[in-house]
Structure 1
Amino acid sequence: MQSSTQENLSKVVIVGIGGLGKTTLAQLVYNDQRVVSYFNLKMWVCVSDDFDVKILVRNIIKSATNRDVENLELDQLQQRLHRNLDGKRYLLVLDDVWNEDVRKWGQLITLLPVGATGSKILVTTRSTRVASVIGVDSPYIVEGLKDDESWDLFESLAFKKEEEKMHPNLVAIGKDIVKMCKGIPLVIETLGRTLYFKTQERDWLSIRNNKNLMLLGDESNILSVLRLSYDNLPTHLKQCFVYCTLFPKDYRIEKKLLVKLWMAQGYLQESDENRDLEDVGNQYFEDLLSRSLFQKAENENANNVLSCKVHDLMHDLAQSIVKSEIIIVTNDVKIIPERIHHVSLFNKSNEMPEGLMGKPIRTFVIGKPDWNLRTGPFYGDYYSTDTFISSLKYLRVMKVSFRPHEVPTSLDKLSHLRYLDLSHGLFKNLPSAITRLKNLQTLKLFRCENLKELPIDTKKLINLRHLEIDEYNQLTYMPLGLGELTLLQTLPIFWVGNDSGESRHMGRLSELKFLNNLRGELEIRGLPNARGSEAKEANLEDKQYLDCLRLRWEEEEEDTEENEEAVSVMESLQPHPNLKDLSILFYKGVRFPNWMINDGLDLLLPNLVRIQLWRCMGSQVLPPFGQLPSLQYLHLAQLYDVEYMMDYPSPAKPFFPRLKTLRLSYLPNLEGWGRRDVAAEQAPSYPHLENLELENISMELCLHLISVSSSLKSLRICGIEELISLPKELQHVSTLQTLKIEHCYGLATLPDWIGRLTSLTQLTIIACPKLTSLPEEMRSLRHLRQLRIFSCPDLWERCQRETGEDWPKISHIPAIDIPRGY
């Protein structure tokens, strides 16, 4: 990455008109493995129109620490920034910079620490003037695609496979369109995806003959051309697309959130009574994604996009269409337009913008642009008054954190309300008036840390589909009658209460009986309060849409009688075969239930991908997890009594056929994956195991697992005191990329054969005080990009830059972190 200077903190600028791919190019650089290895720290901040130095510094700190920063003064922010960046070689990307004010840029540079030699700032901008202001005389100018590249891109998006051969007339028109796109990737991609749905020649001609496309030559025409993609949308997708201007530019929008908001506004059209509105919304999301109106931001897998972003030009397009109907209120906005329908209020002052009260507002959001973080100090007591709230009689979506200790009872006046987010509120209870919101579909109560109970009449919310709650509250039970809300799809946590005291209003596990539309994840807490008979009524076997199930007992010790009851409860909580993720925590049963232990677990849970058992006391035998055909992740921790796993599967059943990650920690009595008298030649192998973590387990088991894991990419060994040197079997694992050795107090040497680990890119050694030197063969690790050594006093001295005895062995490694006294 070439830069304008050779100083400790140098600058690189990428310049080009909107839609040419500046951000994409910067992302390619940012994520390149060479860049990842070279820099100790990478940060990405989208700047856009508002070059507010204080906000920028806060966002830089947030990117560096992955934590939101409270409202500190600028000098405090600078101190925090220096603590995180000083002495590190860092890369800071400032994306989409418009500021041409030399003074503001100078102020930001002054606040930034210089960093270690090689630190860089990478800026993307549409203006060569910005490059000059930054002090870069020779920016990298992004040019459009070449003609053949443009056609290849367009053809791949506009035609189904082999379809171009069937429509030579469309190919000819398409080539004319591509020439007029002037090599701008965003325009080519948008028009290509728009025409993918068209096979009539007239549709293609209408694009080719568009006067805005003919005049495309600079940025001023791009929005008009992009409007063609909007004009070709079905009506139901148009309103869904422009609604996204409710979010700031470059904001990562969660698909699930967006679908719920569309549903609340009535944008989702039911074409099939057997199809859920959420599924309709998911299809709308995919349609907008396929037309390049959305861009992928985060994928769960190849077939499921979790979130999206809207390109800044697409955001400008949407804003130009809705004009003042949707507005993000900032400090600069003093007057609310008459035709306002949707408001995001991020004003830091306590003053209400003039004319907000009584407007026909359908969406009202207060807080930071990040819907998932604490909103901080409340923005003004006025918004919590009954007078203000009752004036918003058309409201369908409301997000506000009530910092007072009570939620206004006037919420029941919002009869059209469908989405209500009260997260981060300080209230202890919700008013009973809230149960009169008969149209409410989503109630979100994240981080309501004082909340003690839900309303007694919660069952009256007959249209509730999503009750979003987390663990950060004081809830100990669920209200009686919750099971009558049969439309419920989201219920992340269900508390089983102690049936003494308030049992008259307390729902039991049987409330889950008819909630068969539950999907996603469900955690059942307070299971020591449950009995086997009622657990059966929870009817988990019929919850076919659940992906994730967590069963949680409590941490305190229980007597033998309660342990037997725990087994009875577990026997009754057998999940549906569709389950993908199972966690069992603090289980005190003397054995696991029969449905887990018996042969045939592979038939009961054929889709299970992930298992976690944590602090399950009492049982000496693990279920036959090796049978599970889809299992990819297995984490066993603090199972102090476990000795072995059930007998090996038969030869007809492969052993852990898809396991990729195995994490074992604090299993002092576990010696292997079967009974101890099984012959060694029957020991299994792990054909797909890539990630192995071994912490405080027996030396015997450690050696065994490494010896049969030939495809490892990552290995962590921690707390195995008998380990004197690395297991010799490891030298044959040529695929290993990451090796971490932690708290192995007996480790005295690294073997000479370490040089055979030719794929190794990261090596971390922590708290191995007997390790006094590094082997000569460290020089052979030519792909090693990062070396971190902590709490190894002798190595600190021997690895000192230029002067240490071991420095010549590691001097070729780009990123070395060996702090003193850590």
Structure 2
Amino acid sequence: MDVASYAAISWNIHMMRFLDDEQSWRLFHHKVFGDQDCPLELQSVGETIVKRCGGLPLKIVTMAGLLSRIPRTPKSWQQFEGNDWQLGSILSLSYNHLHPHLRKCFLYMAAFPQDYDIHASEIIKLWVAEGFMERQNESENVEMVAEECLEDPIKQTLVLITCRKSDGKIKRCRLHSMVRDFCVRQAGEEKFLLPVMDYFPTPILRKHFLPQLLQNHPRISVSWHDLHLRDSTHSLSTTSIICIPQRGYRPKGSVQNFTSLRVLHVLHRDDRSYWELGQVFELSNLTYLASNIPDSIVPPAISKLQNLQTLIIYRYGVHLPVEIWSLRKLRHLIAFSFHPLSLPEGATLSLESLQTLSVATNFDELGMIPNINKLGICYSEENFYAGYRAGYLRSLVRLEKLKLQKHSSFVPHLNLVFPLSLKKLELSGRWISWRDMTIVGSLPNLQVLKLKKYACYGEHWETIDEEFGNLIHLLIDESNLKCWTTDSNHFPRLQCLTLHRCPYLDAIPFDIGEIPTLELIEIDDHNQSLLYSAKKIQEEQRVHWGKEGLKVAVKRS
């Protein structure tokens, strides 16, 4: 109320209150049954359970998430009817109904600070590195299994989605403060993971108790400063460290005495904390490393980490030694940008386990990464024709996500060929003319297409039948496009259209409004004619087709 009163000048303040019985039931019913009717045999027990939630929306939603996951029978629901329903009890029930390996996944989130937005890709890679995933068979992609596992605690309202990707998948998530309190307490009680700063909020307490704690907990999350420990501090039982950078003086991190360490993850917060690499490279059990490094050069000693599966470096222009190709288990190799990767002489072996490589400069040795799933390559102007080889990409039959950047002012004449497996394509720099876009439109599995920094040259784009059959999201950012001719049948599944910095495009094709799946049109605030066009499409849908779902958003520059 104090914040609202201070902020409000001419607006009315919405008074927050508990929900009454009718509103509580409506919220519960929507979360459990959606548009379906509640079975009569569940009506009475359901109303009793909802009444015990006391009108608190978080309790109702959490309870609904739990009941939606168990058999819809009176007997199943009646076991929850007579409890006091404190929030901790509800969360305990949701937690206990998770499969044992999903409980580990949920408790692992206690490692992240309060109000921290957890990137889905970040937590998925950590779960895989910890070995939490259970696959039905060896052919299953373990990252995809982990992605599905993230959905389960979300369905039980234990984890909140804060941002989705353009293809609808989860991009970022977080724990509600009350849920995180439960998660921290449960993780500590089970000696699964200890968020040190939650249990010991002052540096003096941590300095005194941390050496003892390290002997009793296999996984810890801890501040960067607390890892600048005395040489006498050691731990043979600590297998995972999630490190939280802090402002101020940043001493070198020391992991010299953590000989059993498998996971070493520093949250990325634009800081320059780094480890003594000589110590890190002695950790022969290490499977996961995400951190900054002292300078851009990775020494050959990295070859000692033969168990390494994930290497993430928070730095541009990283120089990797030729020894990187000896890491046979490597699955993810990521930095803001890598310098050109050198190959060993007479190289015949490939990194068959590598799933992600991003962002590599002038990379053309695609035969070395035959099973790559996600690839980012940046070409410089002087090395473009030497580095890019038309047709090589087609050999990557497992490639689903491709980002090609080109820092160049000239317009190449390329015979672009993409693998049919592509689901997401991002082109930046001048790559293709609008008249040749059928090369992209014919990709059968493409769901997301992002065209940035004049990726397509020319002024006119005319699509044809049987193109972009599965495209969900189309983004055009910086373009000279003047005229766009299309038909609603050309983008039958489009949900989101984003047009930024397209100063010469006066109108969105009116047929775009006839696409039944379209949910959002986003325009920047510099092109008023485009905004008018989008509003007109929105109004046409509302008046003539009775559709209220289309949103028109304006991105402020």
What is the match of residue 436 of structure 2? 597
What is the match of residue 546 of structure 2? none
Matching residue within 281, 285, 288 for 1:416:
285
SS for the counterpart of 2:196 is strand
- 1:533, distance to aligned residue in structure 2 (A): 10
What's the RMSD between the two structures over aligned residues?
4.6
1:241 has 2:106 as partner: yes
CA contact (8 A) 2:61 2:157 kept: yes
What is the match of residue 309 of structure 2? 441
Q: Report 1:104-115 matches (<5 A).
A: none
CA contact (8 A) 1:144 1:182 kept: yes
- 1:529, distance to aligned residue in structure 2 (A): 2.9
1:607 has 2:446 as partner: yes
- Equivalenced residues, count: 516
1:149 has 2:3 as partner: no
1:391 has 2:245 as partner: no
What is the match of residue 425 of structure 2? 581
Q: Note closer, same or farther for the CA distance 1:655–1:333 as it changes in structure 2 (3 Å cut).
A: closer
SS for the counterpart of 2:403 is strand
CA contact (8 A) 1:390 1:413 kept: no
1:312 has 2:184 as partner: no
Per-residue CA shift, 1:350-384, capped at 9, x if unaligned? 8538985225112213333xxxxxx6666333x33
What is the match of residue 634 of structure 1? 476
- 1:539, distance to aligned residue in structure 2 (A): 2.7
Q: Note closer, same or farther for the CA distance 1:155–1:597 as it changes in structure 2 (3 Å cut).
A: closer
SS for the counterpart of 1:439 is coil
What is the match of residue 379 of structure 2? 525
1:208 has 2:30 as partner: no
Code of the residue aligned with 1:191 in structure 2: it is M
SS for the counterpart of 1:711 is helix
- 1:432, distance to aligned residue in structure 2 (A): 2.1
CA contact (8 A) 1:300 1:306 kept: yes
SS for the counterpart of 1:208 is coil
Counterpart-to-counterpart distance in 2, 1:576 and 1:340: 47
CA contact (8 A) 2:427 2:455 kept: no
SS for the counterpart of 2:165 is strand
CA contact (8 A) 2:154 2:161 kept: yes
Counterpart-to-counterpart distance in 1, 2:443 and 2:436: 11
Counterpart-to-counterpart distance in 1, 2:88 and 2:157: 14
Code of the residue aligned with 1:634 in structure 2: it is I
Counterpart-to-counterpart distance in 1, 2:488 and 2:22: 53
Q: Report 1:293-312 matches (<5 A).
A: 293-300=158-165, 303-312=168-177
- 1:438, distance to aligned residue in structure 2 (A): 2.3
Counterpart-to-counterpart distance in 2, 1:294 and 1:464: 30
Q: Report 1:325-404 matches (<5 A).
A: 325-329=193-197, 330=201, 331=203, 332-334=205-207, 335-336=209-210, 337=213, 338-346=215-223, 348=225, 352=229, 357-368=234-245, 379-381=250-252, 383-384=253-254, 388-399=255-266
Counterpart-to-counterpart distance in 1, 2:424 and 2:301: 38
1:464 has 2:327 as partner: no
What is the match of residue 58 of structure 2? 186
SS for the counterpart of 2:51 is helix
What is the match of residue 534 of structure 2? 712
Q: Note closer, same or farther for the CA distance 1:625–1:455 as it changes in structure 2 (3 Å cut).
A: farther
Q: Note closer, same or farther for the CA distance 1:364–1:543 as it changes in structure 2 (3 Å cut).
A: same
Code of the residue aligned with 2:24 in structure 1: it is S
SS for the counterpart of 1:470 is strand
What is the match of residue 147 of structure 2? 282
CA contact (8 A) 2:523 2:554 kept: no
Q: Note closer, same or farther for the CA distance 1:663–1:147 as it changes in structure 2 (3 Å cut).
A: closer
CA contact (8 A) 1:546 1:579 kept: yes
What is the match of residue 518 of structure 2? none
The structure with the largest alpha-carbon Rg is 1
1:259 has 2:120 as partner: no
Q: Note closer, same or farther for the CA distance 1:143–1:688 as it changes in structure 2 (3 Å cut).
A: same
Matching residue within 341, 353, 367 for 1:487:
353
Q: TM-score, normalised by structure 1?
A: 0.54
- 1:547, distance to aligned residue in structure 2 (A): 3.3
Q: Note closer, same or farther for the CA distance 1:444–1:482 as it changes in structure 2 (3 Å cut).
A: farther
Q: Report 1:550-561 matches (<5 A).
A: 550-554=404-408
CA contact (8 A) 1:687 1:709 kept: no
CA contact (8 A) 2:284 2:305 kept: yes
Counterpart-to-counterpart distance in 1, 2:553 and 2:355: 44
Q: Report 1:639-718 matches (<5 A).
A: 660-662=497-499, 685-688=509-512, 706=529, 711-713=533-535
Counterpart-to-counterpart distance in 1, 2:273 and 2:244: 15
Q: Note closer, same or farther for the CA distance 1:142–1:341 as it changes in structure 2 (3 Å cut).
A: farther
Counterpart-to-counterpart distance in 2, 1:141 and 1:662: 38
SS for the counterpart of 1:492 is strand
CA contact (8 A) 1:243 1:326 kept: no
Per-residue CA shift, 1:176-221, capped at 9, x if unaligned? 3223222222222222221222225543233224xxx23x5xxxx4
Per-residue CA shift, 1:669-701, capped at 9, x if unaligned? xxx99xxxxxxxxx9944448566799xxxxxx
CA contact (8 A) 1:466 1:488 kept: yes
- 1:269, distance to aligned residue in structure 2 (A): 0.9
- 1:223, distance to aligned residue in structure 2 (A): 1.5
- Higher RCO (CA < 8 A, seq sep 6+): 2
